[in-house]
């Protein structure tokens, strides 16, 4: 048992892979120094990375009873203190970063210091056989345990609302920005101002919202329309300009349903934005009202979903782990066909 071991990394969105790394270290070391990449370096790779304090706090919260055996420190360069640390005798890493630890040992050897025992740990795999990573979590692809946000039981099937799920959808799911129904620009301008710089796509659900954004010169990155409002045909829907979008997709989803056709269209649109920043207009034969239940689980963290609240204004809901989890639970409550 080593008295002191070292481990370093970004440790954003503390996940099962991080836990495995630290638990392995604690099984072989009495104490661990956890060196967490500073904000300047970490956030230069992704602005969605949480700040250092939040990342450090999540480690202590996750370790619970073992937290008194670890300490966290700021990592300001690639190697940190390991090349000349006087007290450490071990270093914990993933298989992929073993070569970096060997480089550290070469430096230590040249400086007359004892080499660190390299404790390498296999990465934990997600449901799809790919490694769990913070970048995949930020991208909205998986949760912190490597599970999909869209339940596998839902894929390939159509689903219908149940009374229980419908009752949970009565209240606005997000922040209501109030504005008169006869002038949607008031609420939309306020919403655009509140959203500001955004790290994910701006998603509009509904013809009124999509057109209002277009008229303000900020067309959605992804818009879902069905030619209707309040379940009646809306003549102004013809003013929505398809040429504002890079892609046009069509799908079907009857009222009160979430279909596989709608899921595939949303997946394609979000993948297109994620890979190349391309915008998409999804034309739904039926109703798009329930689409946020699919969009939040699919969207990258930091996306904003806007939809109209008739007679009240527009609702903003950011895509984060809370919204993803809530929608996943609601999808599980649907009746699959």
Q: What is the pLDDT of residue 228?
A: 81
127 and 264 together in one domain: no
171 and 130 together in one domain: no
210 and 289 together in one domain: yes
161 and 215 together in one domain: yes
Please tell me the distance from the alpha carbon of residue 240 to that of residue 155, in angstroms, as a whole number: 31
List pLDDT tens digits, range 36-65: 999 999 999 899 999 999 999 999 999 988
Contacts of 295 (CB under 8 A, 6+ apart): 203, 205, 222, 266, 270, 303, 305, 319
Domain encompassing residue 20: 2-138
Mean pLDDT for 132-144 is 97
7 and 59 together in one domain: yes
Confidence of residue 234 (pLDDT cuts 50, 70, 90): confident
Contacts of 123 (CB under 8 A, 6+ apart): 17, 94, 95, 96, 131, 132
Q: What is the pLDDT of residue 135?
A: 96
CATH number of the domain to which 92 belongs: 3.40.50.620
Is position 312 within any domain? yes
Q: What is the pLDDT of residue 231?
A: 74
104 and 216 together in one domain: no
325 and 235 together in one domain: yes
Q: If we measure between CA atoms, which residue out of 89, 133, 126, 94 comes closest to residue 108? A: 89
Distances (CA, A) of 33 to 7, 22, 171: 6, 10, 46
Residue 85 in this model has a pLDDT that exceeds 80 = yes
Mean pLDDT for 219-226 is 97
Mean pLDDT for 177-204 is 92
Q: Where are the alpha helices (DSSP H) in the chain?
A: 16-28, 39-45, 52-63, 98-110, 134-138, 163-168, 184-195, 207-215, 260-276, 292-298, 321-332
Please tell me the distance from the alpha carbon of residue 295 to that of residue 292, in angstroms, as a whole number: 5
Please tell me the distance from the alpha carbon of residue 200 to that of residue 222, in angstroms, as a whole number: 11
Is position 144 within any domain? no
Confidence of residue 275 (pLDDT cuts 50, 70, 90): very high
Q: What is the pLDDT of residue 230?
A: 72
Q: What is the pLDDT of residue 229?
A: 77
Q: Which residue has the higher pLDDT, 231 or 130?
A: 130
Mean pLDDT for 84-95 is 97
Domain count for the chain, please give it. 2
Mean pLDDT for 204-212 is 96
Tell me, rounded to whole angstroms, the distance of Cα 71 from its chain centroid.
28
Domain termination site, one of 90, 110, 138: 138
Q: What is the largest CA-CA distance in the chain?
A: 80
Q: Which two tokens stand for residue 232?
A: 């009646």
Is position 29 within any domain? yes
Is position 245 within any domain? yes
Q: What is the pLDDT of residue 194?
A: 92
Sheet containing 257-258, strands listed edge to edge, beginning at the edge strand earlier in sequence: 257-258, 159-160, 335-336
Please tell me the distance from the alpha carbon of residue 237 to that of residue 226, in angstroms, as a whole number: 8
Is position 147 within any domain? no
41 and 103 together in one domain: yes
Residue 232 in this model has a pLDDT that exceeds 80 = no
Is position 322 within any domain? yes
Is position 145 within any domain? no
Is position 146 within any domain? no
Confidence of residue 32 (pLDDT cuts 50, 70, 90): very high
187 and 314 together in one domain: yes
pTM of the model: 0.91
- Strands (DSSP E) contained in 110-192 are 117-121, 159-160, 175-178
130 and 157 together in one domain: no
Q: What is the pLDDT of residue 143?
A: 98
Q: What is the pLDDT of residue 144?
A: 98
Mean pLDDT for 131-135 is 97
241 and 117 together in one domain: no
Q: What is the pLDDT of residue 305?
A: 97
Distances (CA, A) of 271 to 138, 139, 210, 325: 14, 10, 20, 20
Domain termination site, one of 86, 103, 138: 138
187 and 281 together in one domain: yes
Domain termination site, one of 138, 164, 189: 138
Q: What is the pLDDT of residue 170?
A: 81
């Amino acid at each position: 048992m080593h008295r002191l071991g070292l481990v370093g990394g970004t440790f954003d969105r503390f996940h099962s892979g991080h836990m495995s790394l630290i638990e392995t270290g604690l099984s072989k070391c009495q104490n661990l120094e956890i060196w967490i990449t500073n904000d300047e370096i970490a956030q230069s790779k992704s602005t969605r990375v949480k700040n250092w304090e939040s990342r450090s706090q999540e480690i202590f919260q996750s370790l619970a009873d073992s937290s008194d055996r670890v300490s966290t420190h700021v990592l300001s360069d690639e190697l940190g203190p390991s090349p000349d640390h006087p007290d450490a005798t071990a270093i914990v890493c993933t298989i992929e970063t073993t070569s970096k630890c060997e480089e550290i040992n070469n430096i230590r050897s040249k400086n007359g210091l004892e080499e660190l025992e390299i404790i390498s740990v296999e990465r934990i795999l997600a449901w799809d056989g790919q490694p769990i990573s913070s970048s995949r979590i930020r991208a909205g692809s998986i949760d912190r345990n490597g599970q999909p946000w869209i339940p596998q039981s839902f894929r390939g099937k159509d689903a219908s609302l149940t009374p229980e799920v419908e009752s949970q959808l009565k209240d606005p799911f997000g922040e209501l920005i109030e504005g008169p129904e006869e002038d949607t620009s008031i609420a939309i301008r306020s919403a655009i101002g509140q959203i500001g710089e955004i790290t994910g796509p701006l998603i509009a659900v509904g013809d009124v919202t999509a057109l209002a954004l277009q008229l303000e010169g900020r067309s959605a990155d992804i818009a879902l329309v069905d030619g209707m409002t309040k379940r009646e045909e809306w003549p102004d829907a013809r003013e929505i300009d398809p040429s504002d979008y890079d892609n046009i997709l069509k799908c079907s989803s009857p009222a009160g349903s979430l279909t596989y056709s709608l899921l595939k269209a949303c997946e394609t649109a979000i993948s297109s934005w994620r890979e190349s920043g391309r915008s998409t207009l999804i034309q739904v034969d039926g109703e798009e009202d329930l689409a946020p239940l699919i969009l939040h689980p699919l969207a990258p963290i930091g996306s904003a979903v806007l939809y109209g609240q008739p007679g009240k204004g527009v609702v903003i809901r950011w895509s984060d782990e809370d919204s993803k989890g809530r929608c996943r639970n609601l999808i599980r409550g649907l009746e699959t066909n």
